[in-house]
Chain A
Amino acid sequence: MTKREMVCVSCPIGCAVTVELDDNNEVVSVKGNTCPRGDKYARQECTHPERMLTSTVKLEGGKLPVISVKSASPIPKEMLFEAMKEINKVTLKAPVKIGDIVIKDILGTGVDIIATNES
């Protein structure tokens, strides 16, 4: 049995969470979180860490030269840099609306990259 201390990054409160793992690295218990998101985060972090990715993509015909985008949900942490490469290949044409899909199913994660601003 091992204990792992971590800070939940689901929201800015940043709860200090303690996770107990058994000898097969299976999560036995999660303590210290103040909401269900903390439990989910801690379990995920011990098995397969994920992060939200935000960036910008080039924009043509808009007021500004770039427009902000995000992953619609968290993607595997180790894929962040590879996903950035894909995002930096894209050029959008105005008009763009909040929620427009910029890249569908990025790197086969099942997660879309979507616009977070208007052009």
Chain B
Amino acid sequence: MLSYDLAVIGGGPAGMAAALKAREEGIEKIIILERADTLGGILEQCIHTGFGLHYFGEELSGPEYAGRFIKQVYDTDIEVKTDTMVLDISKDNVVTACNNVDGLITIKATAIVLAMGCRERPRGALSIAGSRASGIMTAGTAQKYVNINGYMPGKTVVILGSGDIGLIMARRMTLEGAKVKAVCELMPYSGGLTRNIVQCLEDFGIPLRLSCTVVKTHGKERLEGVTVANVDENLKPIPGTEEYIPCDTLMLSVGLIPENELSKNAGIELDRITNGPSVDEYRETLHKGVFACGNVLQVHDLVDYVTQESQIAGEGAAKYIKGEKKTGEYVKTQGENGVRYIVPQRINRETDKDVKLYFRVGKVFKNVRLSVKCGDEVIMSRNKKKMTPGEMENILIKLDTIKSLPSGSTITVTVEEA
């Protein structure tokens, strides 16, 4: 059995940032286990720009953003095993993995960082009527075909779901000469960033149809078209609103699911809203010594925030390895009145830094007051012009405030009339 201070599972932006931060904090024996043949994760196929504006103050493409961290990792003595699939994490933090060089390997790690990222919701999760014609794929799969493999998956496209990847692909396909006929979104609002609606759809005159879904796919060998229909307030298709749109490709951008099979097998408790582990302010799960960060913890909009979160996890793991991480009483966090979840789910009262609470709202809010309460007492509040489900929000809780909270208390983030 190999022995490491820290094993990081996943070599995307989250895993790399956590490993580098732990290294900076003086942790010596670190290994990154990555399933793909290179570090970088999904950023390798995200060739559009907009990455790094917060973290580097520059507008980088995905490969450039990843490239900076990949270089840093290889400049250290952090060990990297690519083409390596982690199969299991045991209760006593033994990682079992395999690859075609070492065969089956077991790694005993003092601390583990989970950074497996997320995957796209597939067609099977939607129950759309129709045959299994080719030409139906997730937007991320299409992105890989175009940007990595170098070929076009179709000529006329309908996109279901207005997640960011779908919007980005609408522009990408258009620039490469395809005709994107419509982006259909089940909800009455878009799931993507406003900037992507503007620069990926409006710029190219691609219609965004809200409260609209695909009810049927047509074609036997290859997709020939889809039937779309408007939906009512219960998200049910309205009879009589069906419209046939000829197309050879249907792309799905209908949500991302944190990839937590390993976490579940290890018995790590998951938050039923985020589908990621329940964590403390240093992103430690309820399984001692196991930390989580990036999209495996909660689906982010911006990689810059993934990096920040992963540095927190890396610092936490370093503290844990050095025996400096506080174990004491926790206060719980919760969302209310449209605040769907809070990460972290608990905060140690003995913590040593301010804590940012990250959350998403369940619907669009305009001109509201965002408050953080402990019981009836308002700890802090601020006015918000607009909050949408597509954009992750955060609010900072000062260290003094955390220390002053009664033991066993719960802090609640809530939306009120301004």
Contact = CB atoms under 8 A, between A and B. Distances in A.
Contacts of B386: 16
Contacts of B53: 10-12
Contacts of A64: 148-150
Given A66-B147, A84-B175, A56 B194 contact: no
Interface in B72-102: none
B385 interface: yes
A68 to B, nearest CB: 4
Nearest to A83: B175
A41 to B, nearest CB: 10
A58 B194 CA distance: 32
A80 interface: yes
Task: Bin the interface of chain A by size.
Answer: 20 to 34
A116 B44 CA distance: 10
A117 to B, nearest CB: 4
B371 interface: no
Interface string A47-84: 00001111110100000111011100000010011001
A95 interface: no
Q: Which of A11, A12, A81, A117 has the most C-beta atoms of chain B within 10 angstroms of its own C-beta?
A: A12
B202 to A, nearest CB: 9
B61 A116 contact: yes
A74 to B, nearest CB: 9
Given A9-B198, A65-B150, A80 B175 contact: yes
Task: Determine which residue in A9, A13, A64 has the highest number of CB atoms from chain B within 10 A of its CB, and name it.
Answer: A9
Interface in B122-150: 146-150
B221 interface: no
A66 B148 contact: yes
A16 B63 CA distance: 29
B193 interface: yes
Most A CB contacts (10 A, CB to CB) among B64, B146, B149 go to B64
Contacts of B394: none
B67 interface: yes
A104 B194 CA distance: 32
B195 interface: yes
Given A9-B195, A9-B199, A84-B176, A56 B150 contact: yes
Contacts of B147: 56, 66, 68
Contacts of A11: 50, 53-54, 59, 195
A12 B195 contact: yes
Contacts of B150: 56, 58, 64-66
A8 interface: yes
B105 interface: no
A23 B392 CA distance: 39
A26 B194 CA distance: 26
B63 A7 contact: no
Contact of B175 (A77, A81, A98): A81
Given A68-B61, A98-B67, A116-B61, A14 B47 contact: no
A117 B147 CA distance: 12
A65 B385 CA distance: 46
Nearest to A87: B175
Given A14-B195, A52-B49, A54-B61, A65 B146 contact: no
B271 interface: no
Given A7-B198, A66-B148, A98 B193 contact: no
A22 interface: no
Contacts of A117: 44, 47, 61, 63-64, 67
Contacts of B179: none
Nearest to A97: B67
B147 to A, nearest CB: 6
A14 B385 CA distance: 13
B373 interface: no
Interface in B250-307: 301-302
A81 B49 CA distance: 18
A98 B64 CA distance: 7
B61 A8 contact: no
Nearest to B38: A63
B203 interface: yes
Contacts of A56: 47, 146-147, 150
Given A56-B150, A84-B175, 20 more contacts: A7-B198, A10-B53, A11-B50, A12-B50, A13-B195, A53-B175, A54-B47, A56-B146, A56-B147, A64-B150, A65-B149, A65-B150, A66-B148, A68-B47, A70-B47, A98-B67, A116-B64, A117-B44, A117-B61, A117-B67
Interface of A: 6-14, 16, 51-56, 58, 64-66, 68-70, 77, 80-81, 84, 98, 116-118
18 contacts: A6-B198, A7-B194, A9-B198, A10-B59, A11-B54, A14-B391, A53-B175, A54-B47, A54-B49, A55-B47, A56-B150, A64-B148, A64-B149, A64-B150, A68-B147, A116-B60, A117-B44, A117-B47
**Those 5 A-B pairs whose CB atoms lie nearest each other, nearest first:** A66-B150, A68-B47, A117-B63, A14-B194, A14-B195
